[in-house]
Amino acid sequence: MGKPEALLPKDSKDLAGQKAFYHSCPQDDRYRKYILKFFGLLAVSLLGVTLYRGYVSSLGPEPFNICQVGALEYSDKPLGTHGPRNKPRRRQNIEKLCPRIEPIYPEINAPGLSRAIAYLKSPDFLFQSAKTLGDAIKVRTAVYDDFGEVGRDDRWNRMGRFHDYLHNAFPVVSRHLLVKFVNAYGLVYEWRGSNEDLRPILLTAHQDVVPIDQETLEQWWHHPYSGHFDGKDVWGRGALDDKNQLVAIMETINLLIRGGFKPARGIVLAFGFDEETGGDQGAHYIGEYLLDTYGEDGFSIIIDEGSSMQSEFGSDIMVISTAEKGFLNQEITIKMHGGHSSIPPPHSSIGIISEIVVALESHRFERVFSDDNPLFDFLACSAAHAKYFPKELYDYIIQDDKQALADALVKLNPRFDADLRSTTAVTTICGGTKINALPEYVTLGMNHRIRRGSSISEVTNATADLVSSIAKKHGLNLIAYPEHKKNYAESSITIEIKNQREPSPLTSSRVDIPSAFKLVAGNTRAVFGENLVVTAGLNMGNTDTFWYTKLSKNIFRYAPMPVVKKNMHGVNERVPIKGHLAMVEWFFHFILLTSEVEEYWFLE
């Protein structure tokens, strides 16, 4: 139903407006009578609506939303959801679980810093920043799963070209900060602080990007390595993951240096170069270097890529991830006799591997809402502040009945199922060389994301049990998780672990006392708006922070940008330039804050 137009002219309340309105009507008593009758009915209708709203309000949450348009009202809100108004007592209970965090502003009393902020907000910086990010995207830094070790695989050399770009784009940063190359292509920038009693902060990102599927090239509106700027978005692979954040950090440091800033608390930047394949060559070695240099728990806080704005339950909510799931990459290889396809066995190796795929995808790990899953914080804040939070979930949150909450949540929105259970995705199958030859080897690859409260062993045990029954059925030997890679035995199924990470430690999200989370969230509301809802949450992907867990207890996987991420790793990846500039502003204010606050902010 369309929205009705207002029935009265905007100035009908003033005398001149009333005269103009009535003089436009025929001066006939009959018409005057109709007009008076019409306004009488309108007044009665409005009174009825007012009384009805009062009655509904007394019952608790409204069954639908009333939106005023002109002199009439209409409903556009789905049934069965909470609106902005809820029973006062229930809302108070919910809001205790998600108190609003006060904005925290840094002191900016140096003329140079004031000029830097003014430049940051200028059109000149917008276009310069778009060019800088676009130039970063033009440098092709895609990494593949089959890359060998640094020094033995020439494909890593492309990272050297990205180093040249950074040096040319940010010469001031290269001159003022100590630059360390770790395992050839890992980058560490160190800016010493004036107060050695304050532990430094660590800001991280990664130089590499995921490859482009060549079959999708024609679907891109702009070439994926063009770095095209259309006046609104910067396009290309890495625009969201993760050159956006890397460039924003470098731009921030550049602005601070030019503004004459002298940090009291040290600042360290760490940029890996193989995050998309696990970080074994990059962040792994960077983490060891930082641990040797700064010691265990040597950093006050770590900010890496991660979550940002999420649009859920009719509202935009900023999510700061305080934990991430674990992951496990496995390969299953079947070795069988080959031969001519004219005399096939009852089941070829491809047929058997297909049976394994069906078994793996049919097995569902248990859904569990563990106490260390920060998804609860996100749901509590959504219940307290989102427009249309499902009423079915309210009582479960207040009662802290997490398991009932998990089941009800997934029933309403299956998307959340992956937040609450370990998952399996079969992603690659390789086998066969000719259509009339039986394959001797077939290998499948699968990726598991391990839920909070679970472990790698739970997934490997389940995998071995599933494959064991199939191996026995077909008379094949099962070799599960050999310590060293061996030649695959004839008539066998071998399960191997390729990469693994247990679920990460959980960072505290307390806001009732000074804390690292309170500082991150307070800065977020100061920069992006005091009405913004900010909450802790769970990062579904995995990041280089795995290699940095010994360096700090305050690790946040967070892309501070008031934009819902879209097309990351996909066709037409792009970032709004205003979102990128907001990220620069966030880092600018955050670095100033970290030099102002005392060390106790980071001890919780």
- As a whole number of angstroms, the distance between CA 299 and CA 201 comes to 6
Please report the DSSP string for 42-62 in residue order.
Answer: HHHHHHHHHHHHHHHHHHSS-
Please report the DSSP string for 157-217 in residue order.
Answer: GHHHHHHHHHHHH-HHHHHHSEEEEETTTEEEEEE--S-TTSPPEEEEEES-BPPP-GGGG
- List Cα–Cα distances, 26 to 30, 36, 40, in angstroms: 9, 13, 19
Q: Are strands 201-206 and 301-307 parallel, antiparallel or unpaired?
A: parallel
Question: 340: helix, coil or strand?
Answer: strand
- As a whole number of angstroms, the distance between CA 86 and CA 549 comes to 41
Q: What are the binding residues?
A: 206, 241, 276, 304, 569
Chain CA centroid to CA 29, Å: 67
Q: Mind telling me the catalytic residues? A: 208, 275
- List Cα–Cα distances, 574 to 128, 540, 541, in angstroms: 17, 21, 19
Q: How many CB atoms lie within 10 A of CB 443?
A: 18
Cis peptide before 242 (omega within 30 of 0): yes
Q: Return the residue matching tokens 């018409």.
A: 31
Q: What are the binding residues for Zn(2+)?
A: 206, 241, 276, 304, 569
Q: Which residues contact 506 (CB under 8 A, 6 or more apart)?
A: 322, 323, 372, 374, 452
- As a whole number of angstroms, the distance between CA 42 and CA 243 comes to 59
- Tell me the HSE value of 135 on the side-chain side, using a 13 A CA sphere: 17
- As a whole number of angstroms, the distance between CA 467 and CA 404 comes to 32
Closest among 537, 504, 511, 555 to 374, alpha carbons compared: 537
User: Could you tell me the two tokens for 352?
Assistant: 């058997």
Closest among 71, 67, 70 to 53, alpha carbons compared: 67
Q: Return the residue matching tokens 């390595």.
A: 225
Question: 537: helix, coil or strand?
Answer: strand
Q: Return the residue matching tokens 């130089």.
A: 207
Beta strands in 372-469 (DSSP E): 423-431, 437-438, 441-450
Question: Cβ(206)–Cβ(305) under 8 Å?
Answer: yes
